């Protein structure tokens, strides 16, 4: 296969073709043409020449016209064209360069000068072709990488959607005796993460609630998180005590855990009618008690180690009784370890401060206050860890018992008092108009 550079010589004078061919016969594969039509046919035929020596003055179609046509012909636009001419005026050079030529050789020409010019322009073309091939190769790689990244991002978005579908709603209100309000937020630092929260009724009056933080981040932690949540739902109905649930969960996680994954976990059981909370921790952040109009309080907890490390670990329980309006806050260390642009941590002190003296201790208010404080501190800096908050407030539903005399005046007075009480609780007039009293 011919691997020498290909040169097309175009001239209507046989003597010029002979001299140029004799000069370039060593080292180049030569093709000749004696007019513009032959030149166009030879140049557009594959394999295309690597360089064209083109006479300017030819009958029917001069070199300028041939050059302009080739520069508009696909496959020929990058072929370097060197005009060969007896003209030497600046205007002629300007016209030729504007037509697309890269250089001029004037007649009578010196063989060594012709060789040097041809060699230089072929080398330039070779480097340009190599550069274009490299650009095309890298462009293909970039397209492939972009496509792969897009597919991965789509897969991760789907994985996050499936992961979050395992969790209960971010807002929940129970109307069972005693009742409770729950508000949560979960913001993964990556496309998928290892933080999670969960809550479920074990009975009408008792709610189990948890918040966990799996070691590491990414796909491995997300899969481990799914395992933890699945085990929790399987173990919760078998016991009504957080310490027992954590102990059983820990033993299950220690089996077949060659990767050494672990999870820190806070687990509470709320008695909605009494306002009592039993709480046990496996290496997790200490909860915070929020009381409207008063400083927030970090509750000291003597917990066990993270789950999945030591099979025989124990998890002591703590018991608190919440007053009406108080809320308990569980959170992951992604809250306190959130960094600002100067790599300073939000910290426990700021957290307790932002949750103090809230006018309203409702869980949604507490979660919003915490988020606003963290976002204000980080000022748009990326999360370094998953951020998760769960706030629970028991005793949000109330039962009232009235005993009234069955007389019209007493019923009217009672109805007016009931309407006013409902108004004060935020009940709309439309709702009040639908209220019927049956005796």
- DSSP secondary structure, 90-106, as one string: HHHHHHHHHHT--EEEE
Of the candidates 426, 365, 391, 421, the one whose C-alpha atom is nearest the C-alpha of residue 180 is 391
What would the pLDDT profile of 337-372 be if each residue is shown by its tens digit?
A: 999 989 899 999 999 999 999 988 899 999 999 999
Alpha helices in 192-304 (DSSP H): 219-235, 242-254
Which among 65, 173, 136, 105 has a CA at the least distance from the CA of 393? 173
Encode pLDDT of 67-118 as tens digits: 999 999 999 999 999 998 876 677 777 787 788 888 988 888 888 999 999 9
d(CA 326, CA 289): 7
C-alpha to C-alpha distance for 121 and 433, rounded to whole angstroms: 93
CA 190 to each of CA 159, 259, 261: distance values in angstroms, whole numbers, following the listed order: 12, 21, 18
Specify whether the CB–CB gap between 192 and 219 falls below 8 A. yes
With beta carbons less than 8 A apart as the criterion, state whether 231 and 212 touch.
Answer: no
Alpha-carbon dihedral sign for residues 73, 76, 77, 80: negative
Positions in the chain whose pLDDT score sits under 70: 1-2, 87-88, 191, 396-403, 421-422, 424-428, 430-432, 434-439
Distance CA 266, CA 260 (A): 20
What's the confidence (pLDDT) of residue 397?
59
Distance CA 211, CA 304 (A): 15
């Amino acid at each position: 296969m011919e691997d020498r550079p290909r040169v097309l010589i175009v001239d209507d004078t046989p003597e010029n073709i002979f001299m140029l061919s004799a000069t370039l016969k060593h080292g180049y594969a030569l093709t000749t043409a004696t007019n513009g039509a032959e030149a166009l046919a030879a140049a557009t035929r594959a394999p295309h020449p690597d360089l064209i020596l083109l006479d300017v003055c030819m009958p029917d179609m001069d070199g300028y016209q041939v050059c302009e046509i080739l520069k508009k012909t696909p496959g020929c636009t990058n072929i370097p064209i060197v005009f060969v001419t007896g003209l030497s005026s600046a205007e002629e050079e300007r016209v030729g360069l504007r037509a697309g030529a890269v250089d001029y050789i004037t007649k009578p020409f010196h063989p060594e000068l012709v060789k040097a010019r041809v060699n230089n322009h072929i080398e330039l073309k070779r480097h340009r072709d190599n550069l274009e091939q490299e650009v095309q190769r890298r462009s293909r790689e970039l397209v492939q990488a972009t496509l792969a990244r897009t597919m991965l991002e789509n897969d991760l978005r789907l994985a996050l959607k499936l992961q979050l579908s395992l969790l209960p709603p971010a807002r929940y209100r129970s109307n069972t005796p005693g009742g409770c309000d729950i508000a949560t937020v979960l913001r993964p630092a990556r496309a998928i993460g290892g933080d999670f929260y969960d809550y479920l009724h074990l009975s009408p009056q008792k709610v189990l609630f948890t918040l966990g933080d799996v070691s590491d981040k990414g796909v491995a932690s997300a899969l481990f998180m799914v395992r933890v949540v699945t085990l929790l739902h399987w173990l919760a109905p078998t016991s009504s005590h957080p310490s027992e649930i954590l102990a059983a969960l820990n033993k299950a996680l220690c089996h077949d855990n060659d990767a050494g994954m672990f999870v820190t976990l806070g687990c509470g059981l709320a008695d909605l009618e009494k306002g009592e909370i039993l709480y046990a921790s496996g290496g997790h952040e200490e909860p915070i008690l929020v009381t409207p109009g008063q400083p927030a309080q970090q509750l000291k907890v003597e917990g066990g180690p993270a789950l999945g490390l030591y099979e025989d670990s124990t998890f002591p329980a703590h018991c608190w009784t919440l007053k009406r309006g108080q809320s308990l806050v569980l959170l992951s260390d992604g809250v306190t370890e959130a960094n600002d642009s100067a790599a300073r941590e939000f910290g426990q002190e700021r957290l307790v401060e932002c949750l103090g003296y809230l006018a309203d201790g409702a869980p949604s208010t507490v979660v919003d206050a915490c988020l606003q404080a963290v976002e204000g501190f980080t000022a748009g800096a990326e999360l370094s860890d998953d951020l998760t908050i769960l706030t629970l407030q028991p005793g949000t539903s109330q039962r009232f018992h009235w005993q009234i005399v069955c007389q019209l005046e007493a019923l009217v007075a009672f109805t007016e008092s009931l309407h006013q009480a409902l108004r004060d609780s935020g009940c709309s007039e439309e709702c009040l108009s639908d209220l019927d009293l049956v005796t």
